[in-house]
């Protein structure tokens, strides 16, 4: 008979699954990480995992959503304090996201992981991922002193190129990655300002 958990305990287990899932993705990548590894580390039965996530891909989706919510919250806090976003705000935000943020699950996914992830997600989840363009448009409304005309697709492509650099860091000269990402951030910002 399955255990019945209180709402607080369910939330605690969900957070433990997500934390352990992210740690194992950092170590092994998404495809090599297993639900069995997660459940052993969390101390729950393997079947219990499915009370929280339908699949490993849905766990990654949950990690990505949680991370995006934290970024959106950071942006909203800046806007509440200053009333706008400026070049330095965006520079810090993207530098942190792409180079430093240990909660950004996308930093630790390999190309094969992302392909697997995208092919196994339900279409409604894929639509939410593609909402990045709408979120960027929303954020750009609060950018101070931006160009009258900017190319949103170019901005989004700069972000994707930076993600590709990080995703493929194993084939690049490691000591040059941070420098090249900072240059790409400046190119992206030049498109906005």
Complete DSSP assignment for 61-72:
HHHHHHHHHHHH
Structural domain spans, the chain: 1-53, 57-192
The burial class, CB within 10 Å (0-12 / 13-18 / 19+), for 8 is exposed
Closest CA to 108 of 179, 188, 170: 170
For the chain, the straight-line distance linking the first and the last C-alpha, in angstroms and rounded, comes to 60
pLDDT in tens, 68-123: 899 999 999 999 999 999 999 999 999 999 999 999 998 898 878 888 888 888 88
pLDDT of residue 130: 62
**What's the pTM value of the predicted model, to 2 decimals?**
0.85
CA distances 26 to 30, 45, 60, Å, are 8, 23, 12
pLDDT of residue 91: 97
Query: 143 in helix, strand or coil?
Result: strand
pLDDT of residue 118: 83
Q: Where are the alpha helices (DSSP H) in 29-85?
A: 35-42, 46-49, 56-82
The CATH number of 1-53, from 2.30.30.30, 1.20.1440.230, 1.10.10.60, 3.40.50.2300, is: 1.10.10.60
**What is the full per-residue pLDDT of the chain (193 aa) written as tens digits?**
557 778 999 999 999 999 999 999 999 989 999 999 999 999 999 999 999 999 999 999 999 999 989 999 999 999 999 999 999 999 999 999 999 999 999 889 887 888 888 888 888 887 776 677 888 899 999 999 999 999 999 999 999 899 889 888 888 998 999 999 999 999 999 999 9
pLDDT of residue 170: 82
pLDDT of residue 168: 83
Query: 41 in helix, strand or coil?
Result: helix
pLDDT of residue 2: 59
């Amino acid at each position: 008979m399955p255990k019945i958990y209180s709402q607080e305990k369910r939330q605690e287990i969900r957070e433990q699954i997500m934390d352990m899932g992210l740690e194992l993705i950092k170590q092994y990548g998404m495809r090599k990480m297993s639900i069995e590894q997660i459940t052993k580390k969390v101390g729950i039965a393997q079947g219990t995992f499915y009370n929280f996530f339908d699949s490993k891909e849905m766990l990654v989706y949950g990690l990505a959503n949680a991370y995006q919510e934290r970024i959106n919250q950071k942006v909203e806090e800046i806007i509440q304090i200053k009333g706008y976003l400026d070049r330095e705000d965006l520079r810090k935000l993207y530098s942190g996201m792409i180079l430093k943020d240990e909660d950004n699950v996308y930093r630790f996914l390999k190309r094969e992981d992302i392909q697997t992830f995208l092919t196994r997600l339900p279409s409604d989840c894929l639509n939410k991922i593609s909402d990045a363009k709408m979120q960027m448009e929303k954020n750009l409304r609060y950018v101070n002193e931006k160009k009258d005309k900017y190319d949103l697709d170019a901005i989004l492509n700069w972000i994707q190129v930076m993600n590709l650099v990080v995703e493929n860091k194993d084939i690049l000269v490691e000591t040059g990655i941070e420098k090249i990402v900072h240059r790409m951030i400046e190119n992206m910002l030049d498109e906005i300002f």
